[in-house]
Amino acid sequence: MQVYMDNNATTMVDPEVLEAMIPYFKEQYGNPNSLHKFGTASHPAISKAIDQAYTAINAADEDDIIFTSCATESNNWVLQSVWIDKILNGDKNHIVTTEIEHPSVLSTCKFLEDQGVKVTYLPVNEQGVVEAHTVRSFITEKTALVSVMWANNETGMIFPIQEIGEICKEKEVLFHTDGVQAVGKIPVDMQAVNVDFMSMSAHKFHGPKGIGALYIKNSQELSPLLHGGEHMGGRRSGTLNVPFIVGMGKAMELATTDMEAKMAAIRAKRDRLEDALLEAIPETFTVGDRDNRTPNTILISIRGVEGEGMLWDLNNGQIGASTGSACASEDLEANTVMLAIGADNELAHTGIRLSLSRFTTDEEVDYVINHFKDAVSRLRAISSSYAKVQPTPGGEVQECELHH
Amino acid sequence: MAKNDILGDSLWDAYSDKVTTLMNNPQHQGEITEEEAASHGNKLIVADFGAESCGDAVRLYWEIDPKTDKIVNSKFKSFGCGTAIASSDVMTELCIGKTVQEAVKITNIDVELALRDTPDVPAVPPQKMHCSVMAYDVIKKAAGLYMGVDAESFEEEIIVCECARVSLGTLQEVIRLNDLTTIEQITDYTKAGGFCKSCIKPGGHEAREYYLVDILADTRKQMDEEKMAAAADAGASGDFEGMTLVQQIKAIDAVIDESVRQFLVMDGGDMEVIDIKNSDEYIDVYIRYLGACNGCASSSTGTLYAIESTLKEKLSSKIRVLPI
Ligand SMILES: Cc1ncc(COP(=O)(O)O)c(C=O)c1O
Ligand code: FES
């Protein structure tokens, strides 16, 4: 058996989605901008995808949902265009975001800082969530934009988007949310919140990679990131990626119809997995209240077991999981989310993320429970954290000074 | 970046088979107790390096025969990724049978070499090179404990890049001899900075005492100062007249850089040396004014006088400066 438990990184394309896409590679490959029937033949399918997208997030007809190449593009678009519109060509100079956004937001903010923009990176509490009052206290007269994710990719923790939206409305500040980990996992109702811009990505909910979207409330002003042939009303140029738009629409529909039931089923498996691991393995803990977490995500810390070593053993057991921590990433940094929530430094290197999907089965959950336990036993047997013989006097180590 | 870097490395695929095998099945993982060592009439040394909070920690056990200083048995415990475990395993392997004095000579390079499948293919990707450095550090610590000296005392020179084991002295020399001006060149010449990158500048994986950026800047500064001094010496010893034309231009440039240019630049101007003509009586230096100097009233009076007298004083009293 092999088990994929890394659905927050990406998901399998639902076979129904793939099926819906195929005709637009084969028979109906026309450019929808063309006047002839080869071009217009795809219009009904695109309209349907647009409808599916609007329904899935309950967007109003006055709002825009613009297809992009990925959520990274959507995030860049909002941040860079707000900078151009409100800072370079306006009287603002400040952006508020959080310290645990996805790199597509954080790196863009760093880039804007290099261009002279002031950026505030809000801290999170021990649950890994930004509190609404914290957002309020950092908004100034000069703030152009607040950008706070709806749900975090590492912990699954859900942010108070409703409350932050109210604050932004009251303070007359634009509000962007990276909704990548929320859409398709929890109810997202754009008419129930005050959000100006929301980024989405199809491959996180069983759609294809390489297509995303940006929701824009009331079709309001936002300079384009990609200039060109006036596609999608000139908001985002580039020949429409018809099969992928069709696939994204279908994936949004599948993810959001009967969402309550689908999510309850995933959550039941997730909770069973989480309970079993916490019970079977001493000195472990998971991050964040389950009730305020996306129903598919577990971030578990295992004392004495380094994250990449654990991933290695899981991989040997045919299980794909992930860690944002330590050695696994190029830059050898500690897990920033773990550090941000104020977990002990030690735990910054022991986090393992398991993320399920609606395709995860009970057998897979059982399989993971068993292998997880075995991997922990093997690695703890090697671990210096569990060694009994103590160092010769003088041979101890003071607290680590790395990873400041 | 280029074609081969577009996809990026798959970290684990870059590990040697030996790393993989030892990670899956380390040979010397375990502990040695005080009682066990004592029962053989041996001494036990246990040393830690790193910490969980760094993401890497290792504990090294040595059972030493006090009569011969020989390490008769060695084990390790490790909190770390695959390469950390494999490096620790090979390290203990390398220690067994050596005397403590011999063991301190084992470096991280030896550990990495021992992990290779074939002699010329690295065992781990560059960013993992650092794992074997820990092995080296913990050995020094254990040896220090046994011999009752500070671990630092085993280091004969100042190592700036631990991954590539390049010393301060080597770096300074390479920069000078090859006239290096960038960090990339330093990495090309010495491999320093090519691995975990901690040694390049502050803010990396690990805090350092010396960084390549500072060493480069300091060495370049020294080189410039020496050039000045050489130019000044040449003037003082009356050698200027005996120099080749190229040497003369360099010497003049050096003096202008040091004492003249800053004043011109302050007023938005600059100058360049066009030509030098040596005769028995004079050395004529033809210059051209640039920027704001060009056409400035004082460029043929006060400024010119200042340039000429500086060159006269520093290089040769025969110099005449002629603007064109
Ligand atoms: C929270 C979050 N934002 C943005 C992205 C980027 O999405 P994409 O891969 O579509 O650029 C991801 C996924 O990698 C994510 O988890
Ligand atoms: S210390 Fe690791 S590259 Fe220099």
Average model confidence (pLDDT) for chain A? 93
Q: Is B193 in the pocket of ligand 2 (CB under 6 A)?
A: yes
Task: Tell me the mean pLDDT in the region B108-123.
Answer: 91
| Shared domain check, B310 and B172 | no
Ligand 1 atom having least distance to the Cα of A151: 1
Q: Determine whether the interchain pair B55/A325 forms a contact, defined as Cβ–Cβ distance below 8 Å.
A: yes
Whether residue B54 lies in the annotated active site: yes
Which of B7, B36, B54 is the best substitution to test chain A (most A C-beta atoms within 10 A)? B54
Residue B248 and residue B225 share a domain: no
**What pLDDT is attached to residue B237?**
57
Q: Provide the pLDDT for residue A334.
A: 57
Contact B207 A389 (CB under 8 A): no
CB of A327 within 8 Å of any CB in chain B? yes
Which stretch of A224-228, A263-267, B1-5, B296-300 has the lowest confidence by average pLDDT? B296-300
Q: Predicted confidence band at B208 (pLDDT cuts at 50, 70, 90)?
A: confident
Q: Give Cα separations from A15 to A108, A251, B15 (angstroms).
A: 35, 10, 36
**So what's the pLDDT on residue A260?**
95
| 3-class DSSP string for chain B | CCHHHCCCCCHHHHCCHHHHHHHHCCCCECCCCHHHHHHCCCEEEEEEEEEHHHCEEEEEEEEEECCCCEEEEEEEEEECCHHHHHHHHHHHHHHCCCEHHHHCCCCHHHHHHHCCCCCCCCCCCHHHCHHHHHHHHHHHHHHHHHHCCCHHHHCCCCEEECCCCEEHHHHHHHHHHHCCCCHHHHHHHHCCCCCCCCCCCCCCCCCCCCCHHHHHHHHHHHHHHHHHHHHHHHHHCCHHHHCCHHHHHHHHHHHHHHHHHHHHHHCCEEEEEEEEEECCCCEEEEEEEEECCCCCHHHHCHHHHHHHHHHHHHCCCCEEEEEC
Q: In angstroms, rounded to a whole number, what is the distance separating the alpha carbons of residues B126 and B122?
A: 9
Same domain, B144 and B22: yes
Nearest CA in chain A to B203: A404
Q: Using the predicted structure, report yes or no on whether residue A332 has a pLDDT greater than 50.
A: no
Range name among A28-32, A284-288, B188-192 with the lowest pLDDT average: B188-192
- Residues of A with CB below 8 A from B66's CB? none
Q: Which amino acid is present at A60?
A: A
Please indicate whether residue B195, judged by its CB atom, sits closer than 6 Å to ligand 2: yes
Same domain, yes or no, for B181 and B245?
Answer: no
- Two tokens, residue B290: 């640039």
List the single range of A148-162, A328-342, B269-283 with lowest mean pLDDT: A328-342
Average pLDDT for residues B138-161, to the nearest whole number? 88
ipTM summary value: 0.87
Give yes or no for residue B313 having a pLDDT over 50. yes
Q: What confidence score (pLDDT) does residue A202 get?
A: 98
Residue A404 has pLDDT above 90, yes or no: no
State how far residue A326 is from chain B, nearest Cα, in angstroms: 6
The span from the CA of A228 to the CA of A234, in Å, is 8
Among A269, A129, A263, A100, which Cα is nearest to A186's?
A263
Atom number, ligand 1, closest to the C-alpha of residue A73? 11
Is B95 a catalytic site residue?
no
Per-residue confidence band for A252, with pLDDT thresholds at 50, 70 and 90: very high
Does B269 score more than 80 pLDDT? Answer: yes
State the pLDDT at residue A401. 47
Distance of alpha carbon A82 from alpha carbon A75, whole angstroms: 11
Q: What is the pLDDT of residue A159?
A: 98
Q: Does residue B16 register a pLDDT over 90?
A: yes
Q: What is the mean pLDDT of residues A321-330?
A: 58
Q: Say if residue A402's pLDDT is above 50.
A: no
User: Is the predicted pLDDT of residue B54 greater than 70, yes or no?
Assistant: yes
Q: Decide: B200 in ligand 2 pocket, CB within 6 A.
A: no
Residue B89 and residue B209 in one domain: no
Does A383 contact B at CB distance below 8 Å?
Answer: yes
In short, whether B196's Cβ falls inside 6 Å of ligand 2 is yes
Final residue in a domain of this structure, among B220, B236, B252: B236
B138 and B11, same structural domain? yes
Considering only CB atoms, B47 lies closest to which of A308, A395, A403, namely: A395
Query: Is residue B298's pLDDT more than 60?
Result: yes
Please state the rounded mean pLDDT for residues A151-170.
Answer: 97
| pLDDT of amino acid A214 | 98
Alpha carbons A254 and A42: distance in angstroms, whole number? 21
Percent of chain A exceeding pLDDT 70 equals 94
What integer pLDDT is reported at residue A345 of this predicted model?
A: 65
Tokens 């109906």 belong to which residue?
A: A28
Chain B residue at shortest CA distance from A344: B53
* A392 inside 8 A of chain B by CB: yes
Among residues of chain A, what percentage have pLDDT more than 90? 87
pLDDT the model gives residue A337:
75
For the record, the structure tokens of A358 come out as 């609606």
Q: Is the pLDDT of residue A297 over 60?
A: yes
Sheet hosting strand A212-216, strand order edge to edge: A64-68, A212-216, A197-201, A174-178, A143-147, A94-98, A118-122
Do A395 and B130 lie within an 8 Å CB cutoff? no
Query: Residue B34's closest chain A neighbor by CA?
Result: A389
A302 beta partners = A284
Q: Structure tokens of B41?
A: 């009439």
> Do residues B226 and B269 share a domain?
no
A261-270, A393-402, B27-36: which range is least confident on average? Answer: A393-402
User: For chain B, what is the domain count?
Assistant: 3
pLDDT band at A391 (very low <50, low <70, confident <90, very high): very high
Task: Tell whether the model's pLDDT for residue A328 goes beyond 90.
Answer: no
User: Is the domain of B30 the same as that of B149?
Assistant: yes
Same domain flag for B252 and B300: yes
- pLDDT for residue A325 is more than 50: no
Q: What is the pLDDT of residue A330?
A: 44
pLDDT of residue B238: 59
Which of the ligands is closest to the CA of residue B162?
A: 2
For residue B155, what pLDDT is reported?
77
- Name the domain boundary from B236, B271, B306: B236
Q: Which of A89-103, A349-363, B105-119, B146-160 has the lowest mean pLDDT?
A: B146-160
Lowest mean pLDDT among A197-206, B28-37, B54-63: B54-63
| pLDDT (0 to 100) of residue A96 | 98
The CATH number of residue B304's host domain is 3.30.300.130
- Both B118 and B35 in a single domain? yes
Q: What is the pLDDT of residue A399?
A: 60
Q: For position B119, which CATH number holds?
A: 3.90.1010.10
- A31 vs A37: CA distance, rounded Å: 10
From chain B, the residues in CB contact with A385 under 8 A are 52, 57, 79
Note whether B168 and B133 are same-domain residues: no
Q: How confident is the model at residue B133 (pLDDT cuts 50, 70, 90)?
A: confident
Q: Hey, which of B131, B188, B191, B199 would you mutate to test ligand 2's pocket, going by the most ligand atoms within 8 Å of its Cβ?
A: B199
Q: Ligand 1 centre from A118 Cα, in Å?
A: 24
State whether B15 and B144 are in the same domain: yes
Which of B136, B155, B174 lies at the terminal end of a domain, its last residue?
A: B155
Name which of A90-104, A163-177, A209-223, B121-135 the model is least confident about: B121-135
Percent over 70 (pLDDT), chain B: 96
Angle CA(A45)–CA(A49)–CA(A55) in degrees, nearest 5?
140
Number of H helices and number of E strands within chain A?
13, 12
Catalytic residue among B95, B131, B163, B199: B131
CA A108 to ligand 1 centroid distance, Å: 13
Write down all domains in chain A, each with its CATH number in brackets.
Answer: 15-256 (3.40.640.10), 259-383 (3.90.1150.10)
Could you give phi then psi for residue A6, rounded to 5 degrees? -130, 45
- Residue B289: give the domain boundaries: 241-323
Q: Is the pLDDT of residue B46 over 80?
A: yes
